[in-house]
Amino acid sequence: MSEKDLFGKEFESVRKNDALKPDQNYFDELEERIMSRTGKKKIRILKPILYGSVAAILLFALFFLLPDDSLKENPDNVIAMNSEAIIRNLDYYDIDESTIVSYLAETQKIIHKNELMQEEFRENLGIESEDDIIEYLIEEDINLDNEL
Amino acid sequence: MKEYSDAEIFELLRNPSSQREGFRMLVRGYRRRAYSLAIKMVFDHYDADDAVQEAFIKIWNKKEQMKEADKLKSWVFKIVSNEALQTLRTRKRKNLLFQRNTLGDEQEKYAIATHPFFSGDEIQKKFYKAMTALSGQQRNIFVMKYFEEMKYNEISEVTGLAVGTLKATYHQSVKKIKKELENV
């Protein structure tokens, strides 16, 4: 018995006419959906950029959230940390912000260029805490422009 | 647009510069048959749509594994039927979990009755509803043999089952549908 006669004449239309067949638009749209999911190369390039940016933002945020002790291990970080402390208290100490910025820039240069001067500078400023630096600057009434 | 043969699609897929074109031709050439197989297994348009889409994405991701042009058809059918079977398994698990109607029950009959593209009559509806009495693998084999008119050795390539097993399963499926048609 062939497949045609399996269920009798009454059901012949089941094979002849697929009643569950969507229209052409549906198949065109399905094809486009499938094709759009295969064009993932752009996403592969974009993803690292996206993740990189997020990671950079997180690291940046983490830097400011780190406890002070973790910064003390690196003199450059100490300078950065202390500069923030000074800038935060500019109004109180009546020091011009641009002065501090240039001072810090020059300080960093000096530290990198001259080890001896760096040691002396660290001794004089007493890098143990932010307060030490601020106190030192006030007590000695240091004109930072002149010092440098 | 020109219809591509399996051999031409296979050649396009092998060349990195023409892979996407080859894949588009493969989708175009098999999208109707893939849907036809999936819908007659899961009976829900949206599930069939998902199964076909996922199957083609798998085909794209595994295109390098395709080694012979003359196996393209069975390869496509294999992945589509596996996706459809997976849909049925997932549905069954969900139904058991949430204690809803089990496979082959009113849920599928309702899906047939509300299929957005249904263009048949009551006879066809009756037949499809009778098909819901079949298990997933029975539907798979029945659709390939009865609707797609594939040969047993072709179905064997798709399912990995022996021809004897396929013949017996098909015979049981026909019997089951006949019984259901008498009862509906």
pLDDT at A147 over 60: no
Query: Can you give the pLDDT at residue B112?
Result: 80
The rounded percent of chain A whose pLDDT value lies above 90 is 10
Give chain A as a 3 state SS string. CCHHHCCCHHHHHHHHCCCCCCCHHHHHHHHHHHHHHHCCHHHHHHHHHHHHHHHHHHHHHHHHHCCHHHHHCCHHHHHHHHHHHHHHCHHHHCCCHHHHHHHHHHHHHHHHHCHHHHHHHHHHHCCCCHHHHHHHHHHCCCCHHHHC
User: B26 or B102: which carries more pLDDT confidence?
Assistant: B26
pLDDT at A145 over 50: no
Whether A19 sits inside 8 A of B128 (CB atoms) is: yes
* pLDDT tens track for A46-67: 666 767 777 777 777 666 665 5
Q: ipTM exceeding 0.85?
A: yes
pLDDT at B20 over 80: yes
From chain A, the residues in CB contact with B57 under 8 A are: 34, 37-38
């933002």: which residue's tokens? A57
In angstroms, the separation between the Cα of residue B113 and the nearest Cα of chain A is 10
Long-range contacts, B114-119 (Cβ 8 Å, 24+): B115/A20, B115/B39, B115/B43, B115/B44, B115/B45, B116/A22, B116/B45, B117/A20, B117/A21, B117/A22, B117/A23, B117/A26, B117/B45, B118/A19, B118/A20, B119/A17, B119/A19, B119/A21
Q: Which domains does chain B have, with CATH numbers?
A: 6-183 (1.20.140.160)
Give me the residue from A3, A14, A21 closest to B117, CB to CB.
A21
Whether B24 sits inside 8 A of A31 (CB atoms) is: yes
Distances B92 to B53, B87, B95, B98 between C-alpha atoms, Å: 21, 9, 5, 10
Closest chain B residue to A23 measured between Cα atoms? B117
* pLDDT tens track for B101-142: 554 567 777 778 788 888 888 899 899 999 999 999 999 999
Closest chain A residue to B23 measured between Cα atoms? A35
pLDDT at A101 over 60: yes
Give me the residue from A6, A10, A21 closest to B119, CB to CB.
A21
From chain B, the residues in CB contact with A15 under 8 A are: 146-147
pLDDT at B169 over 90: yes
In angstroms, the separation between the Cα of residue A54 and the nearest Cα of chain B is 29
Query: Can you give the pLDDT at residue B107?
Result: 74
From chain B, the residues in CB contact with A3 under 8 A are: 145-146, 149
pLDDT at B96 over 90: no
CA distance B154 to A135: 89
pLDDT at B99 over 50: yes
Whether A33 sits inside 8 A of B53 (CB atoms) is: yes
CA distance B53 to B36: 13
Of A108-117, B95-104, B110-119, which one has max mean pLDDT?
Answer: B110-119
Query: Can you give the pLDDT at residue A25?
Result: 94
Whether B123 sits inside 8 A of A14 (CB atoms) is: yes
Say which range, A18-27, A61-70, B44-53, B65-74, has the weakest mean pLDDT.
A61-70
The rounded percent of chain B whose pLDDT value lies above 90 is 61
